Amino acid sequence: MLYPTDTVYAIGCDLNAKAALKRVRQLKQLSNDKPLTFLCASLSNIADYAHVSDPAFRLMKHLVPGPYTFLLPATKAVPKLVMNPKRKTSGIRVPDNTLCLSLIKALGNPVISTSALPVARKSTEDDTEALPKALLFDRMEKLVDVIVDSDADLRYQVSTILDMTSDTPTVTRQGQGWQEAVDWGADY
């Protein structure tokens, strides 16, 4: 599906739908050794899919929901097709988007989330220019099974990535809210 998040429009599927996961990888042209991010409905839901240390939890409770991707050690509940095979980690988010959270809760499982913009852009287009939502939908309609629309404007800002695999959470990619993460104790 194509759906809105608090950062970008994303393509994704049920975390447990193996054929759909392969289709997302195909659309994004991602090999199996590239991890995929997935969205959970709440901070407590993250603990089902990742080992969360006390320092990580203390920071995460201030930032969730929000535009943050947390790199965490994966539990056995995470499909191998999703995690980083070398590090056994997963990127997990709890988005600050009512529609997106409703989709996750209705499905009852986490949802894969990867930006749709690289898939929708033509190779000759400047990737810094805005892509109108109508054009995004036109280009994606034959590639996905369903498009979920909202009245919200199309957003282009990526999430901040926080590596939570050590005792000191570290910002590894600046995106929305990175300064807030640093203010709450993440290293930069």
Q: Domain of 117: which CATH number? A: 3.90.870.10
What does the pLDDT read at residue 157?
86
Phi, psi for residue 140 in degrees, rounded to 5: -95, -15
Three-state SS for 60-103 is HHHHCCCCEEEEEEECCCCCCCCCECCCCEEEEECCCCHHHHHH
Instruction: Flag whether 44 is in a domain.
Output: yes
CB 95 within 8 A of CB 89: no
Show the domain range for 110.
2-183
- Coil, strand or helix at 156: strand
Considering the entire predicted model, what is its pTM? Answer: 0.92
What does the pLDDT read at residue 114?
93
Residue that the structure tokens 């995004």 belong to:
136
What does the pLDDT read at residue 35?
87
Instruction: Flag whether 188 is in a domain.
Output: no
Please count the structural domains in the chain.
1
Report d(CA 10, CA 16) in Å as an integer.
17
CA torsion 123→124→130→132, rounded to 10°? -80
**Tens of each residue's pLDDT in the chain, 188 residues:** 999 999 999 999 999 999 999 999 999 998 888 889 999 999 999 999 999 999 999 999 999 999 999 999 999 999 888 887 788 899 999 999 999 999 999 999 999 999 998 888 887 887 767 788 899 999 999 999 999 998 877 777 889 999 999 989 999 999 999 999 999 999 98
* Token code pair at residue 180: 């807030």
